Amino acid sequence: MTDTSNTAFVRTETIPPSPPPAAETGAIKWLRENLFATVPNGVLTIIAGYVIFLALSSVIPWIWNGVWNASSLSECREILDGTRGACFAVLTERWPQLVFGLAYPSDEYWRPTLAFFLLFFAAAPVMFFDLPRKMLIITLFYPFIAYWLIWGGTIFVPILAFAGFAAGYLVYRQLVTNSFAAGFLGGVVVAFIVWWIAGFLVPDGASDNAMLSPVASRDLGGFMLNMMLGVTCVSLSVPIGIALALGRQSSMPFIKWVCVVFIEFIRGVPLITLLFVASVMLAYFFPPESTVDLFLRVVIMITMFSAAYIAEVIRGGLAALPKGQYEAADSLGLDYAQAMRLIILPQALKISIPGIVNIAVGLFKDTTLVSVISMFDILGFIRGPLSSTTAWNGIYWEVLGFAALLFFVTCYGISQYSQWLERRLATDHR
């Protein structure tokens, strides 16, 4: 090589790295990549930005100017004095009725509130498996405690109901070692015998001076009613749904046929017609002298409704299991009940959990439909008693928005839980 001193210039040190151009860093780069990548994209951004601006510019002042203390809509308007603003005073004034309904005795509000908070302790061990298994005891007792807290009356009813279940379970434990069918049938029969005897044990006037004063079902209302219907019907419909799904997959033609007809029938009609059945038709099918209250009739119909949908989700889970699992269960010499309980259902249910949660969310939203058959759940209360009072006649957005917010928070929470569960249960390493 020639002498380098003859060449004009050769750099001897490396150039220090310089920062990227302004358009390629930080916020500007992010904006360019995510909002203004191409011309049509930029136009879309501007349109979307304008839509957001329009929405926020009308909603934010409305909420900001909101009046929280007034006794009627006209008083609200006086305070607002022509400026645009919400009248949230209706929420503060009518809060107990929005939550507990019109007729629930106000001295007893602590009872449903306590039941609501206990619900978290009861649901927690079912929802989060890391919690100590002993907490399931709370779940076991919860339905009876909650029933007693909300409806009040004599404590004998929930205790004897529990006794029936306990006796049934003990008999089942004894007989199940022989065969599942015998255990199951024996348990059911014993439970019914205990309940039948219990019917004579509760004296007639037991509820009159009970610890908790009795509350009639028709006095229940507000968001509490939605919660009660949602929780009761979902928890009742899961076991029925499992049974229906197994029945539909069964090799016994008669049972399969019954399940198929039931599922397709329920899924083919809207919930409203089933609620009509509950409110105007179902009473005809009970014995003439009995009066089954509307709440129970609605629970029966909604449970049937969601059980049919849950059955289809679980059927999907059963079908998604590889055939090898069924064959493996057979090869171990397990009978049908054992195979289902120990091998098939745990896996099938795991697959169907997100679907079941979806159904639960949908069902919870559908509990607002009871307002159509004049039960005063939160929506029924807003549309009926609230809008017909002179003080709050003509108020829409605040109360409807409040109801929407309640449902949104609950449903969004449940769906986030479902997504967490899906990630948590993803045991296949893909």
Report the residue from 145, 258, 337, 391 that binds another protein according to the rule CB under 8 A: 258
Q: Report if residue 251 touches another protein, rule: CB under 8 A.
A: yes
User: Quick one: which of 173, 144, 176, 172 has its CA closest to 160?
Assistant: 144
Closest separation in Å from C-beta 272 to another protein: 4
316 vs 359: CA distance, rounded Å: 14
DSSP result, 205-217 = TTTTT-SB----G
Rounded distance, CA 284 to CA 416, Å? 42
DSSP 87: B
Residue from 394, 419, 420, 422 in contact with another protein (CB under 8 A)? 394
Site string for another protein, 51-80 (x = CB under 8 A): xx----------------------------
Using the rule CB under 8 A, give the single segment among 57-65, 209-217, 264-272, 345-353 that binds another protein.
Answer: 264-272
Half-sphere exposure of 183 (CA within 13 A, CB side): 13
Does residue 86 interact with another protein by CB under 8 A? no
d(CA 89, CA 69): 5
Subset of 171-210 contacting another protein (CB under 8 A) = 181
Residue count at the site for another protein (CB under 8 A)?
61
How far apart are CB 361 and another protein at their closest, in Å?
Answer: 7
Q: Which stretch binds another protein (CB under 8 A): 76-84, 156-164, 291-299, 371-379?
A: 371-379
314 binds another protein (CB under 8 A): no
Rounded-to-integer distance, Cα 248 and Cα 308, Å = 11
**By CB under 8 A, which span of 66-74, 127-135, 141-149, 278-286 interacts with another protein?**
278-286
Q: DSSP code of 67?
A: B
Shorter beta-carbon distance to another protein: residue 21 or 287: 287
Cα 67 from Cα 80, distance rounded (Å)? 7
Among 107-115, 117-125, 246-254, 421-429, the segment contacting another protein (CB under 8 A):
246-254
Q: Does 285 bind another protein (CB under 8 A)?
A: yes
Compute the radius of gyration of the chain from its Cα atoms. Answer: 30
Distance of CA 291 to the CA centre of its chain: 29
Identify which range of 89-97, 168-176, 245-253, 349-357 contacts another protein by CB under 8 A.
245-253
Q: CB of 266 within 8 A of CB of 305? A: yes
- Helix (H, G, I), strand (E, B), or coil: what is residue 359? helix
Kindly tell me which residue out of 28, 48, 59, 216 binds another protein, with binding defined by CB under 8 A: 48
The answer to the question of residue 346 lying near another protein (CB under 8 A) is no
In the numeric block, the tokens 């904006």 are attached to 31
> Which one, 225 or 366, has the nearer CB to another protein?
366
